[in-house]
Structure 1
């Protein structure tokens, strides 16, 4: 084969022909390349192939020790951040003797329960990105948001306060995107990577939660068999373990690409099942349409379905291979059908919300639900349009994956609007 490789260099299509030979028989090509290079040492194309196929140099002992030391330091950082997040969520119990109203469960849990785990994740992402310039702005905005939540002069469990505390984690999610980008305003590619990272983070967080639930259940059962009190497992082990899950899952995701294989598999399994469930729900809704306009619980189920389909659609695109191609998969047809049915449900839901506002008046909750569903429905419709273009071979998978990346500022603007303006207006 060495002679054929050398002969190909004279042709204009030599790069393509060499690639074809390599794909046809990699072992023979690799064995023949040194002979061809000895015959034509001046050929830049052959030198490039030799550099491509050269085995990697083994790492030195110093380099291996350095990497192991860095991995150990990162692991201890994750343990420390997880411990601090757990202690933060336990502050009401730790501060019962102080009688400070900021540490009462009624005040603390509603306003601060998410700050510990998400704050630990924020610090870890900034550390993973090397504390790039601008990190202090992200931490400063996080501190201002935490201060704002605790200084709002609103009655506990009032509707505006509940909405602020519900949308504040979405604002923190946007700050996490900035931390993932290194501390500055994330560009389009960085937002695309953030959407992919967040999907993998959610999957591994769920897996860690399931494993933790099994561990806690087994621990409690064993202690009960020994007639030993197990209250501490649920009072301390459960909340502290749950608070550490986000930062632990982030370390798993940043250290490997295993989730890239899990996410498409989950989509292939759950997209058809969810489509069947939605079609059954739509058929039942056609018979009991008044339920959607009169029953508040039906509207809540509708909101959960809307978010579930959006999450499944967005995360199904993460980990797809061939991002710049127009290659279609069988799951794309299920995804298009799922988005179409959900968009129809979204329009019906918006009509129901509008009808409640007209007949019962405008409240903070109803306006928040209306705006949130408009934002989510807009994202679903754009995804549906791009999915149809993909099925027509007019768009690539990358176009689909960038839809939500472009849409992230809309979510940030709506969350900021609810968090800052709703307490003033209502």
Structure 2
């Protein structure tokens, strides 16, 4: 194989840095004598395809190459060794140093500082919008309905700017968001007796407040995928992004709570009341700010090092399996299904959703070409236990509906459990086929990502259709 870089006739001067990095990678691979020249060519073609796909998603040449090499590390030992050997340099280039033009030393560009400036500007705008809402609205249900519409669009705006989202796609998504906001605000929901110091709102407004953010989050996913939501890889990338975002957000919130608590404690000792400032100014800006900064951190890391969410998923998978088995035994021994408490059913739904997250994030970090292992069998046990608990929950719900009739929250819970049942059952079937060697792991991964829009459709139905069907009660 010639030493001349391949495909250089299609390169432009702007890609000189990329070709130099591919040359370095190719030389590293060639030093492994066990790899034949045709295999190197195939690996390089795959690497270039990954880079081109990442370029299309908005990454520059340096970022695309580094992320592609890391992803190649999931496919072959040589690239894994290359990524490990250069991991320190890759991390510093991506996170510590801003973007730099080809041929310019790292650290002199202003790309990442520009990203951070745009993001902080949007975070401040979101804080101002939330501050205005809090200053003019006191009803908790109204805050629940409108809060997400004043925060998530700013996050979507940052992602749209980052990925140069086409104007047509952005306009459609903005129109859909505005339409949903109008619907939830114009619906004549039962907000309870305003004279009551603690008014009890109707169930449909609570359901709308809980499900509308799910619809919004999937719309943000379309922005994240740069409009290519039908791509399985882009949907899985968004799953990874969501998991990492939640982890970073939790860490930022814990650190912020510690700092605020220490500050309030010190100021109280000198007679300064810090609580009004916290309620009036800190919270409206800190909540959207934490979300935006967490998103920026996830974007900056770009999966060059191993994600945190899949690691946590592997830690908690065996614990979740034991918990589900204990729950199943306790439910069977707890008496007739009509005696199952409603709060217990809600808790069971939360546990099943947790199981779904564990499956998604375990799959997102798995090498699709690796043979079945003990962890795959453990996941199969987890799915089986979840299906058993879901079957008990469904039976209890049907018994309660038969005895007390249909209500909005019962139908919403029943629909969610049916969706989870289908999702987990088919995932279990595919996982069983994989561990037995009759199916590939890719089939399991595709099923997980292709089923996700079903949750968005159901959330949209609960938000838009349920209120008029159940009389806005």
Q: TM-score range by the shorter chain?
A: 0.7 to 0.9
Counterpart of 2:63 in structure 1 is: none
Give the Cα separation in 1 of the matches to 2:418 and 2:108. 48
Matched, 1:296 2:330: no
Structure with higher Rg: it is 1
Counterpart of 2:3 in structure 1 is: none
Matching residue within 112, 116, 124 for 2:158? 124
- Per the TM alignment, residue 63 of structure 1 is displaced from its structure 2 partner at its CA by 4.4
- Per the TM alignment, residue 265 of structure 1 is displaced from its structure 2 partner at its CA by 2.1
Matching residue within 347, 357, 362 for 1:316? 362
- Tell me, which stretches of 5 or more residues in structure 2 are unaligned? 1-26, 46-78, 94-99, 192-200
Counterpart of 2:142 in structure 1 is: 108
Matching residue within 23, 32, 36 for 2:32? 23
Give the Cα separation in 1 of the matches to 2:304 and 2:266. 33
- Name the SS for the 1:229 alignment partner: coil
> Does the C-alpha gap of structure 1 residues 370 and 396 become closer, same or farther in structure 2, counting only changes over 3 Å?
same
Aligned residues, how many?
380
Counterpart of 1:347 in structure 2 is: 391
Give the Cα separation in 2 of the matches to 1:389 and 1:270. 24
> Does the C-alpha gap of structure 1 residues 205 and 259 become closer, same or farther in structure 2, counting only changes over 3 Å?
farther
Give the Cα separation in 1 of the matches to 2:451 and 2:164. 27
Matched, 1:155 2:190: yes
Q: Is the 8 A contact 2:101 2:109 kept in 1?
A: no
Q: Is the 8 A contact 2:228 2:234 kept in 1?
A: no
- Per the TM alignment, residue 62 of structure 1 is displaced from its structure 2 partner at its CA by 7.8
Give the Cα separation in 2 of the matches to 1:68 and 1:290. 67
Counterpart of 1:306 in structure 2 is: 352
- Per the TM alignment, residue 192 of structure 1 is displaced from its structure 2 partner at its CA by 2.4
Counterpart of 1:98 in structure 2 is: none
- Per the TM alignment, residue 172 of structure 1 is displaced from its structure 2 partner at its CA by 0.7
Matching residue within 125, 128, 133 for 1:84? 125
Please report the TM-score for the alignment, with normalisation by the length of structure 2.
0.72
> Does the C-alpha gap of structure 1 residues 64 and 297 become closer, same or farther in structure 2, counting only changes over 3 Å?
same
Give the Cα separation in 1 of the matches to 2:387 and 2:207. 25
Counterpart of 1:421 in structure 2 is: 465
> Does the C-alpha gap of structure 1 residues 227 and 189 become closer, same or farther in structure 2, counting only changes over 3 Å?
same
Counterpart of 1:37 in structure 2 is: none
Please report the TM-score for the alignment, with normalisation by the length of structure 1.
0.80
- Name the SS for the 2:110 alignment partner: helix
Deviation per CA, 1:66-119: give whole Å up to 9, x if none: 973221121011111222222322224433xxxxxxx34345312112222212
> Does the C-alpha gap of structure 1 residues 211 and 158 become closer, same or farther in structure 2, counting only changes over 3 Å?
same
Deviation per CA, 1:182-240: give whole Å up to 9, x if none: 24654333222222222222222222222222222222222223332120234432342
- Tell me, which stretches of 5 or more residues in structure 1 are unaligned? 1-17, 34-43, 96-102
Counterpart of 2:290 in structure 1 is: 245
Q: How does 1:6-405 map onto structure 2 within 5 Å?
A: 22-23=31-32, 63=104, 68-95=109-136, 103-106=137-140, 108-133=142-167, 134-156=169-191, 157-183=201-227, 185-231=229-275, 232-256=277-301, 257=303, 260-290=306-336, 293-320=339-366, 322-323=367-368, 325-405=369-449
Give the Cα separation in 2 of the matches to 1:331 and 1:67. 45
> Does the C-alpha gap of structure 1 residues 312 and 60 become closer, same or farther in structure 2, counting only changes over 3 Å?
closer
Give the Cα separation in 2 of the matches to 1:185 and 1:270. 29
Give the Cα separation in 2 of the matches to 1:144 and 1:63. 46
Q: CA RMSD in A?
A: 3.3
> Does the C-alpha gap of structure 1 residues 205 and 106 become closer, same or farther in structure 2, counting only changes over 3 Å?
closer
Deviation per CA, 1:123-173: give whole Å up to 9, x if none: 111112113241111112111211222111222221122212221111112
Give the Cα separation in 2 of the matches to 1:199 and 1:107. 27
